Structure 1
Amino acid sequence: MIYRLLCLLLLSSAPALAMGPWKSDCHGDTACEVGDRSYHVLEPDGWDGETPLPVLLHFHGWARQGNVVVNHERIAGATKLRGVLLVAPNGLGKSWNFWSPETGDVEFANRVLEDVAQRYPIDPRRIYVSGYSFGGAMAWRYVCQSGNDTAALLAIAGSIRQTEDCPQAPAQVRHVHGTDDTVMDFPFGPGGDTTYPVALWREKYNCNGATPRGDWSVRPFLTLSRVEWTDCAQGQVTLDTHPGGHFIPHGWIGWQLDELLGRTPTYP
């Protein structure tokens, strides 16, 4: 499938680039309007105003809005330092409708990305989709059925049902979840299987054999355990688990972006 955003850029970005650096009249706490809805966007530190940017499309948690995302140390703090454009849509009623395929939020997110592409020179080959809690589940829903190819899913403490049938998949999946999470409960599999949170993608990619990658951490008070599935007919799946509850682990988003961008992982 050809990512329709690439088509949009091929049609619209070249003339705009010829006119000089791109500028947007909305960023940070000032929301960008898309019809009767809106989103927030934050440029990375030191951006020259011209170089095409990777994008992290991040869906906020329940009772939040995108302005929280663009000011969040563990989200915006990661994108600003890595040359990534942060895009944070605003959910209706400060929430997301991810429960079934019949949701208007997927198409809304598509319109957001199309609007972003009109305002900024973005790299359509490096569109990363992320979210936390309800937003994590919305990120799963988006990559499952947006009609667009995406480079990676970076989901935190939230997912859709593992029994769903997704018509499409991102090139790579990365998911993190705490085993003591009682808000978006850790989805243990049969017999207490801790690899079940990514069962949907393992089946979608036709993966064989889990490969433990050991423990890792960026802060001494939280250790994560990583398992990967790389022997797949398509794609790759990475699962990080930790013994904590419902939160965004320090450094997790930055670590994933570094690996996806071919950088040496660092904190922050």
Structure 2
Amino acid sequence: MPRRFLATLACLMWPTLGHAADCGDADTPCETAIGGYHMATPDVANPKGVVIHLHGGGGRGRGLLNSGLAKAALARGYVFVAPNGEHPENRWTRDWSVKAKGTSHNRDDKAFLREVLADARARGGVTNDTVLLAGFSRGGSMVWDIACYTPDFATAYAPLAGALWDDLPDNCTAPVRLFHTHGWNDRTVPLEGRSFRDGAVVQGDVWASLKILRATNGCDARQPERNSYEGDLWFRHWTDCAAGEIQLMLHKGGHGAPQGWSTRVMDWFENEVS
């Protein structure tokens, strides 16, 4: 079956998830001054807000248009946005400008994502400021960076299998609401982090990232208010902090999301903004 026909068929089927914008589908990214992104809009008159999902290293935003998080966001009335991490002059071209010692990037992704958010809100007809920023792997680390260094960007944050990289900051800028998910058997981004280039570049320790954010949020008891588990999922809930809250969900798998991650994240997010 010709690819052109398949692409046309996909476009015709897309309104079951969201109505068409003037750009943003898999073949036609929307463009800002410094980069591109993909988007889908829900079939509602007034979208509730924006859900942004950052792909992992080597990925593309278009690959997330049919993801579980895209479907969950659209079904609940949110504009879904999947930016492209593009650094053509860097060693890894499809990446994010995660702050780490021994690295540099030719694009400031904090500035890029602000451009994306403003453009997507205008194109999607979003009139409120409700934003969830999620991301996987390197995208998850970018979520941590934005949550820590520019916390006013989003309403809440949901990093998956990514964390701050060394050199770790002494503290973050302000409290945030954050739901972190990680695989107990993740060997790509281990919970304790790992090093590259003979130690010149070091993935941060997830536990250390959480400790920094607990201090910023004023979680003075250090230990979570409560722990819980549901089957193969284990939770730690810091909900009694001075500001913000932190949720940690661990699963027994590796470098990926547990089943139902998208629904659980959206449930948490909507509870936070209700």
For residue 249 of structure 1, what is the aligned residue in structure 2?
Answer: 258
Q: Select which of 172, 179, 182 maps to 1:174.
A: 179
Counterparts of 1:11-160 in structure 2, within 5 Å, are 24-29=21-26, 30-44=28-42, 47-48=43-44, 50-72=45-67, 74-92=68-86, 93-100=93-100, 104-122=108-126, 124-146=128-150, 148-160=152-164
Q: Which amino acid aligns with 2:73?
A: T
Structure 2 residue identity aligned to 1:261: E
Runs of 5+ unmatched residues, structure 2: 1-18, 87-92, 194-204
State the percentage of identical aligned residues.
29
Confirm or deny: 8 A CA contact 1:145 1:166 kept in the other structure.
no
**1:246, CA displacement in angstroms?**
0.2
Whole-angstrom distance in 1 between the partners of 2:151 and 2:218: 21
Q: How far is the alpha carbon of 1:241 from its aligned partner?
A: 0.7
More strand by share: 1
Residue identity matched to 2:161: A
**In the superposition, relative to structure 1, how do residues 197 and 127 fare at CA in structure 2: closer, same or farther (>3 Å)?**
same
Q: How does 1:214-225 map to 2 (within 5 A)?
A: 214-216=228-230, 223-225=232-234
- 1:237 corresponds to which of 246, 251, 258: 246
Q: Which residue identity is paired with 1:216?
A: E
Which residue number corresponds to residue 16 of structure 2? none
| Greater Cα offset, 235-244 or 142-151 | 142-151
* 3-state SS of 1:94 partner: coil
Q: Deviations over 1:14-34 (max 9, x none)?
A: xxxxxxxx9731133121011
Q: Which of 203, 209, 212 is matched with 1:200 structurally? A: 212
Aligned residues: 229
**Residues in 2 aligned to 1:113 and 1:240: alpha-carbon distance in whole angstroms:** 27
| Cα deviation digits, residues 164-221 of structure 1 (max 9, x gap) | 2454346311001012101011128xxxx9955522211111102313341125xxxx
Distance 1:34 1:144 in 2: 24
* 1:131-189 deviation line (CA, Å, top 9, x unaligned): 0001000111122223634211101000114832454346311001012101011128x
Q: After superposition, give the CA deviation of every residue in 1:31-67 in whole Å (9 maximum; x if it has no partner).
A: 10112410011123xx22x213321111100111100
Question: Which residue is equivalent to 1:9?
Answer: none
CA contact (8 A) 2:97 2:142 kept: yes
Normalization by structure 1: what TM-score? 0.77
- Asked if structure 2 preserves the Cα contact closer than 8 Å seen for 1:53 and 1:121, the reply is no
Query: For the residues of structure 1 that align with 2:209 and 2:230, how far apart are their CA atoms?
Result: 19
Question: 2-side partners of 1:130 and 1:194: how far apart?
Answer: 16
Q: Where does residue 200 of structure 2 map in the other structure?
A: none
Cα distance in 2 for partners of 1:141, 1:84 equals: 23
